[in-house]
Amino acid sequence: MSNKILIVEDEFVVANGLRLILKQAGYNVCGIAASADEAEHEIQKHHPDVVLIDIRLDGKRSGIELAKKIKADNIAFIYLSANSSQKVLEEAKETEPYGFLVKPFREKDVLVALDIAFYRHKHIMEAKLRQEQFLKNQLVDIRNEIGDAVQGILKITKLLQSHIPNDLLISGRRPHKGETCTGFGYLRTGADEYQVIGNDELIEIVGLTSNFFFENENLSPDGNAYIYNSNTTNSHEEPDALHKKLFDHFKIESNLIFPVALNNGNLVNYFFYSRQRGVYMQDHIALLNRLKTHLKEITEKFFGGKTMLRQNDEHHAESVSQVEGPEFENIIGKHPLLLAALDLVKQVAPYNTSVLILGESGTGKERIAEYIHLLSNRKAGPFVKVNCGTIPSSLVESELFGHEKGAFTGATEKRKGKFEQANGGTIFLDEVGELTLEMQVKLLRVLQEKEIDSVGGSATRKIDVRVVAATNRNLEKEISTGNFRLDLYYRLNIFPITLPPLRQRKSDIDALALYFVHKFCKEFNKEFMGIAQTMLSEMHAYDWPGNIRELENVIERSVILHSDKSELSLKQNLTDKTNQLSQNFKLTTYEDVKHIQQETERKYIISILKKTDGRIRGANGAAELLDIKPTTLESKIAKLGIKREDLTN
């Protein structure tokens, strides 16, 4: 085995123990380092394939700081840790490690973690190469097909969004003497919506001096790329007072400046701004440098002449958002956390990479999985949904992989499983954290080998299926308690997407409420007279443990019970409900939140069953009103313990 491993560990006994394990397994241990400085020297000397990094190291720098640097060099790394605090673990997780080993570790754990790291690194690097080639091809198309700078920079902004996230992008050439600036920008206003902003408007809004963005030498004094984050501790990275005005107005927290030198010696700056802290890293600059040749060709075309900004202001005069294509139709909201998740969807959708969608119940994980499928090359193939939490454990294997006739009692005919039904398309495994350990092993084999065995069958069948999984569980916690396999977690977690809970994106509540009110007013043939301000205020004060699904249920109930021709008002006191839930359940654990969500869902299903006098199937039955299959509703009724007597209370 030729793979080279570098061990970065300041405890000699631990480091030597690891070295012996790895050498016995056939790995080439190219060095041992006790500090970040030593590690950097060893990396330059040996170019390892994987680095095992202890979080706590000798010297001033931690293993996390070292990981941030080697991540930019596309080197896989696995953390070693012993009883780190939750804060440290969260910080480590943000660096997106390829694995995590907790001391003391067993030989098997080490070898499994390395196997996963190599598997993930291979797929991640292949995906990056494909993505970069796609970006280069698109930049060539923009250069060849678009002659207008305003439209061209919009195309570039949208193209780079999922790779270099930004809420505002400004581009422009430093002017010749006596010239007006050639520059403008785009403010992001939605998932795929941008508003063009000219230099004159920036001067008017922020009160900056003319030509500030393009003549101020402090922005990039050496002509190199520059990163600023609001939580920086380095004084030399602080922006000057004028630039801070822009940050304050647009609530900017991070900034990346990338200069492109033109053939005539002029310099064009691309300014990326984000409202989130710590967004920009060295690997963003590395990506732009790899795209620089293509970016320069476009920049020469748009800014190499003497085109003035005032000519471009004609485009700006309309001052409207420019929208191209309903990529995320029916996704409501413009909060930065939501937009960041949608950017990841666009980034991963074209590839066959496994995706793990994380988030609380009711945050829209199934909808996101559908868009991953619809934006992929598999969109013409099937999209098969499986709720792993509603299938009895004794039937999960048959449901997923199919069975032969006579394989078990009741198997009166051969049946295809969900994986085979999804062949050529995408399978969505919702609530994957509910699978038993035995089924997790079988799922792992499918991910590794791309083949299935039906229950009672003797022949193995190859399948071509993309796997998108979702869970509302904390899988790291499930792994620590032995309920979820570490190797399966890292196979699924190649590309994680986390959906924010509604309480973290309350600025979207008004738009969501309006969407659902219109939906139910149309469905129930009721006139829409607006939403009362008291209702909106109460909804903003509520924490929504059931998230968007609970909001939809509350709106539906309010529309049903609303009879007069006035503004819609709440038919329940959400604030009191919040206080009561907090007192009764102490919202501190996943189990508490899940219990509340189940109670909310239980009460809602009971209310629908009361409307149908307990009838589940048929026209206007409870299943039809809930828009789910009767069998699914029956499973939920059993799972939630709903009895006939509950309908009479």
Q: What is the CATH number of the domain that holds 71?
A: 3.40.50.2300
- Please give the share of the chain, as a percent, with pLDDT higher than 90: 34
pLDDT over 90 at 458, yes or no: no
Same domain? For 368 and 385 the reply is yes
Tokens representing 394 are 């004794």
Q: Tell whether 61 is covered by a domain.
A: yes
3-state secondary structure (DSSP) of residue 10: coil
Domain boundary among 498, 525, 549: 498
**633 residue type, one letter:** L
Same domain? For 181 and 203 the reply is yes
Across the range 94-104, mean pLDDT stands at 82
**356 residue type, one letter:** L
Tokens representing 495 are 């590309």
pLDDT at 316: 42
pLDDT over 80 at 574, yes or no: no
Q: Which residue range forms the structural domain that includes residue 179?
A: 146-323
Q: Tell whether 141 is covered by a domain.
A: no
State the chain's mean pLDDT as an integer: 82
Same domain? For 8 and 71 the reply is yes
Q: Tell whether 134 is covered by a domain.
A: no
CA distance 423 to 418: 9
Sign of CA dihedral 626, 627, 633, 636: negative
pLDDT at 558: 87
Of 487, 494, 498, 492, nearest to 100 (Cα)?
487
Across the range 335-350, mean pLDDT stands at 89
Q: Tell whether 556 is covered by a domain.
A: yes
The size of the chain, in residues, is 649
pLDDT at 325: 41
394 C-beta neighbours (distance < 10 Å), count: 8
pLDDT band at residue 428 using 50, 70 and 90 as cut-offs: very high
80-89, 243-252, 455-464, 634-643: the lowest-pLDDT one: 80-89
Across the range 254-262, mean pLDDT stands at 90
Question: How many folded domains does the chain comprise?
Answer: 4
Same domain? For 454 and 554 the reply is no
Q: Tell whether 173 is covered by a domain.
A: yes
Domain boundary among 270, 301, 323: 323
- Please give the share of the chain, as a percent, with pLDDT higher than 70: 83
pLDDT at 31: 94
82-91, 277-286, 457-466: the lowest-pLDDT one: 82-91
Same domain? For 181 and 318 the reply is yes
Note whether 380 and 412 are within 8 A (CB): no
Segments of 344-476 assigned E as strands: 355-358, 383-387, 426-430, 451-452, 461-462, 466-471
- Measure CA 177 to chain center: 45
Beta bridge partners of 194: 188, 322
User: The pTM is what?
Assistant: 0.70
Same domain? For 450 and 593 the reply is no
CA distance 8 to 23: 16
Q: Tell whether 101 is covered by a domain.
A: yes
Across the range 432-442, mean pLDDT stands at 91
Q: Residue 454 sits in a domain of what CATH number? A: 3.40.50.300
Q: Which positions ≥6 away from 177 have C-beta within 8 Å?
A: none
CA atoms lying within 13 Å on the CB side of residue 538: 20
CA distance 391 to 370: 21
pLDDT per position as a tens digit, 394-416:
788 888 998 787 666 666 677 88
pLDDT band at residue 29 using 50, 70 and 90 as cut-offs: very high
Q: Residue 601 sits in a domain of what CATH number? A: 1.10.8.60
Q: Residue 163 sits in a domain of what CATH number? A: 3.30.450.40
Same domain? For 227 and 102 the reply is no
41-50, 174-183, 567-576: the lowest-pLDDT one: 174-183
Q: Tell whether 329 is covered by a domain.
A: no
pLDDT per position as a tens digit, 614-626:
888 888 888 888 7
pLDDT per position as a tens digit, 123-160:
888 878 888 998 999 999 999 998 888 889 999 999 99
Q: Which positions ≥6 away from 488 have C-beta within 8 Å?
A: 440, 443, 444, 447
Same domain? For 301 and 161 the reply is yes
Of 423, 435, 440, nearest to 390 (Cα)?
435
Note whether 446 and 439 are within 8 A (CB): no
Same domain? For 462 and 365 the reply is yes
pLDDT per position as a tens digit, 271-314:
999 988 888 888 899 899 999 999 999 999 888 764 434 334 44
Of 608, 554, 609, 561, nearest to 578 (Cα)?
554
Same domain? For 403 and 283 the reply is no
CA distance 577 to 587: 13
* Position with higher pLDDT, 390 vs 423: 423
Q: Tell whether 136 is covered by a domain.
A: no
pLDDT over 90 at 385, yes or no: yes
Q: Which positions ≥6 away from 129 have C-beta within 8 Å?
A: none
Same domain? For 351 and 309 the reply is no
pLDDT per position as a tens digit, 500-518:
999 999 999 999 999 999 9
| Residue found by looking up tokens 């063009």 in the block | 196
Domain boundary among 125, 154, 174: 125
Phi then psi dihedrals of residue 255, to 5 deg = -145, 135
Tokens representing 239 are 């922006």
Phi then psi dihedrals of residue 295, to 5 deg = -65, -35
Between helices 107-145 and 292-303, what is the axis angle to 10°?
20
pLDDT per position as a tens digit, 35-74:
999 999 999 999 999 999 999 898 889 999 999 889 878 8
pLDDT over 50 at 582, yes or no: no
Q: DSSP alpha helices (H): ranges in 508-589?
A: 509-523, 533-541, 547-561, 574-585
Same domain? For 61 and 189 the reply is no
